[in-house]
Amino acid sequence: MYKIIVMGTYFGSWPKWFPAFFLSCQAVKDIDWLFFTDCKIPAVTCHHIKFIPMNIKQLNHLASEKLGFYIQKDSYSQLDIRPAYGVVFKEYFTGYDFWGHCDFDVIWGNIRSFITDSILSKHQIISSRKDKLAGHFTLWKNEPKTNTLFKSVPEYRQAFSNPNHVNFDEHIMSKFLANQLISNDDMISVYWPKKIVVGRIELETKPNGWYWKDGKIFDNEDQEHIYIHFMPWKASMKNIDFQLGNQPKKFIITPGGIWSHRMPTIEVLK
């Protein structure tokens, strides 16, 4: 089995739904998780989840040092440098076949059921979106060619030096890769034939139709999915009925919150 580590950066304070995110990471035991944050480090311990204290100033300093030029991003625009994580965080990825990056407005399912070793063996980059890299979940082969691929994008220095978010990690890098594939350049193999993430369209269709159970994500027809990205619900998701460290076997994901017990009537009626 290929060894995978998925990392994320989060600055400020943990979101309301963080206990559910953490629990879903705990359940994915065949992947290691690494988070860099200036939030309070959870007292709950788990052998395959690690937190590294880091603020945005320290991240900028590390990135500038590793990449060799000045970088001054904020807590959001720093997402631009995700394709360079293989260089910036190289020491943390030693011994892994693939590293990935993720968002935190996510509940994970059984990732390995969808990203198999067969897929990993044939590709250097794996995205959960069709024909586009996903900031919320993309895997990169941990090798020099893939880790430094971002340097092949002509505007990468300008994008990384810009304090504003320019969507390098998704739009610019995706366009570059698509052009390489069109030109039949076999420099890199990308797996993005279809969208496998549950996102905006699915959430609008089934706003109350998603649940996590024993490490897997299901819709209201009990069909399993790789993970749910509930970005459209971030502003309204103000409730969760369990705390960090609790271990419910099942919880429901709705626009208003996450429920491991009985879902409030007001949520049912939406």
> Cβ atoms within 10 A of the Cβ of 208, count?
17
In this structure, which amino acid lies at residue 69? F
Q: Give pLDDT tens digits for 189-206.
A: 999 999 999 999 999 888
Q: Where are the domains of the chain?
A: 4-191, 200-268
Is-contact 166 159, C-beta < 8 A? yes
Q: Per CATH, is 4-191 categorized as 1.25.40?
A: no
Q: Which residue has the tokens 């988070």?
A: 35
| H or E element that contains 128 | none
Residue 268 has pLDDT above 70, yes or no: no
Contact (CB, 8 A) for 173 and 153: yes
Greatest extent of the chain over all pairs of C-alpha atoms, in Å: 55
Which residue in 46, 45, 36 sits closest to 12, CA to CA?
36
pLDDT of residue 269: 45
Per the CB < 8 A criterion, the answer to whether 85 and 101 are in contact is yes
Q: What is the pTM of this model?
A: 0.95
Mean pLDDT of 86-99: 98
Looking at residues 51-80, what average pLDDT do you find? 98
